[in-house]
Chains A and B, each alone.
Chain A
């Protein structure tokens, strides 16, 4: 009898856990952050809003006139390091259509 009750409680807890997990998995947005390691080098880290990493995610460095200056993929640590191009540019984390993050060159942390 006690075992049956425990089993029912266990099922209830598992169900609640799955519901919560599905709510957490409802949506996640790409996120990105870039900082200047020195005057010529920039390091960017990308991932998703649920805290997960995104190795292999495309990161493009694009000039204001829409020329792709550099195209990289995030490494296994979800980071990428590149030489800072001259002029005005922005960094684009691209996780697919509608799932992008833009970071302007003025928003790179020093």
Chain B
């Protein structure tokens, strides 16, 4: 037993005293660890906002545009985020919209499309909304030639083959997109 104690004492004594730099580093390593644990707390409000948005607790999107009558049906349209369009690779810029069908419409609408400008036909009606009738999403391409005074066209196709359309001014559908268009005026 005494041999073991002696050996331990010897090992402890043989350790070189820690230098000033090493001591400082140890202390700051502790502070750094605390900072790493605390820093994410700053992002908690944003995290909970995102969570509420994706769960639907914050509504259809960050900004609800309104309810629009389209033929015999009506839909509620919203901007998913109050933000300018995002670059989608070689395709250009896209903007995410969400939509909810009226309670009575559910089961009668086959497809809902949205685009900038008047479509030539049903094939060119724009981006197709996908998801449940209570919250559908579509990423809409914002073409290079889009102007702040342009309109968005909603096209609803029923299971009976009927097609109904409604127009929404871009300035009403997404003021953030109009602001972005005005800022990038003249830029490719």
Question: Which A residues are closer than 8 A to B by beta carbons?
Answer: 27-31, 47-51, 62, 64, 66, 90, 92, 94, 97-100, 102
Contact = CB atoms under 8 A, between A and B. Distances in A.
B120 A102 contact: yes
The 9 closest A-B pairs by CB, nearest first: A98-B128, A49-B89, A29-B91, A49-B91, A49-B90, A31-B90, A98-B127, A31-B91, A97-B128
Given A50-B90, A90-B120, A92-B123, 5 more contacts: A27-B139, A29-B89, A49-B88, A97-B111, A98-B125
Contact of B123 (A29, A47, A64, A100): A100
A51 B89 contact: yes
A51 B123 contact: no
A99 to B, nearest CB: 8
Contacts of B141: 29
B89 A92 contact: no
Interface residues on B, range: 10 to 19
Interface in B106-138: 111, 113, 120-121, 123-128, 138
Contacts of B139: 27, 29
Interface in B74-126: 88-91, 94, 111, 113, 120-121, 123-126
Contacts of A99: 128
Contacts, number: 47
Contact of A100 (B89, B124, B138): B124
Contacts of A30: 91
Contact of B120 (A48, A66, A98): A66
Contacts of B126: 98
5 contacts: A29-B91, A30-B91, A64-B120, A92-B123, A97-B128
A105 to B, nearest CB: 13
Nearest to B119: A102
Nearest to B112: A98
B113 A98 contact: yes
Contacts of A66: 120-121
A16 to B, nearest CB: 17
A2 to B, nearest CB: 21
Contacts of B91: 28-31, 49
Nearest to B113: A98
Given A29-B91, A31-B91, A50-B89, A92 B124 contact: yes
A94 B89 contact: no
Nearest to A104: B120
